[in-house]
Amino acid sequence: MNIIFKSIAILLVSILVGSCAYNHHKYTYSYDLVNKVESPAYDMVYADSNLTARFMIHTTAIYMRLKNRSDTVLKVMWDESVLIIDSIPKRILNSSVRYNDRGLPQVPTVIPENSRIETYLTPIENILWDSEYDDKGNDKGRWRVKELFPTNDLKKHNTMASIYENEGKEFTLHMPIEVDKKKKLYEFRFKITDINHVVY
């Protein structure tokens, strides 16, 4: 989406927001893996002689399927892995760890030869506990996970404009992986390729 088209889109959405009484003004994001290999089956796949990594990006987390293609054991170093957004490194939690344990060290995941893992990766700082107390003072709250990127403009023009400014933004999953007892840094670079407005 070029600058002129984007400006027109923002103007049209502003008119809709100002003239219609919708309950929600939501946006959907399209992504790509910058350093991917071409795959007939999947859009975001990275591969080398050691591994194949397939990604899908959801509203609050990144899905990753990691397959060991080498003839040795791989070890994913979670505590050294970060998601870098707007030049800010964010520690991530893999989905095998409970939210309650998000502040504890994460044990590296061992992937034997010709096997794979599937996990969801969430920035730890996005995992929040919303407290809600009953009449007896018991906390009946629940977990809430913030979005990677905002999808609701809250009927505010400034928020809407900032959402569209995310188009073209790149962010990186920085993940050290031990291969044959030697640590190798993998950097998976993603890009927001398109943002679409959806009215509910």
DSSP per-residue letters across 125-152: GGEEEE--B-TTS-B--EEEE--SS--B
Task: List Cβ neighbours of 167 (8 Å cut-off, separation of 6 or more).
Answer: 1, 6, 192, 193, 194, 195
Q: What is the pLDDT of residue 24?
A: 60
> 130 by DSSP, 3-state: which?
strand
Task: Parse the chain into domains and list their residue ranges.
Answer: 3-199
Query: 125 near 83, Cβ under 8 Å?
Result: no
**pLDDT value for 177:** 98
CA atoms within 13 A on the CB side of 189: 8
Q: Calculate the dihedral angle through the C-alpha atoms of 69, 72, 75, 81, rounding to the nearest 10 degrees.
A: -50
- pTM of the predicted model as reported, rounded to 2 decimal places: 0.84
Q: How high is the pLDDT of residue 155?
A: 84
Residue 19: per-residue pLDDT? 47
Ranges of the chain with pLDDT below 70: 1-24, 38-42, 200
CA dist 30 and 85 (Å) reads 16
Write down the pLDDT at residue 135: 76
Residue 130 one-letter amino acid: D
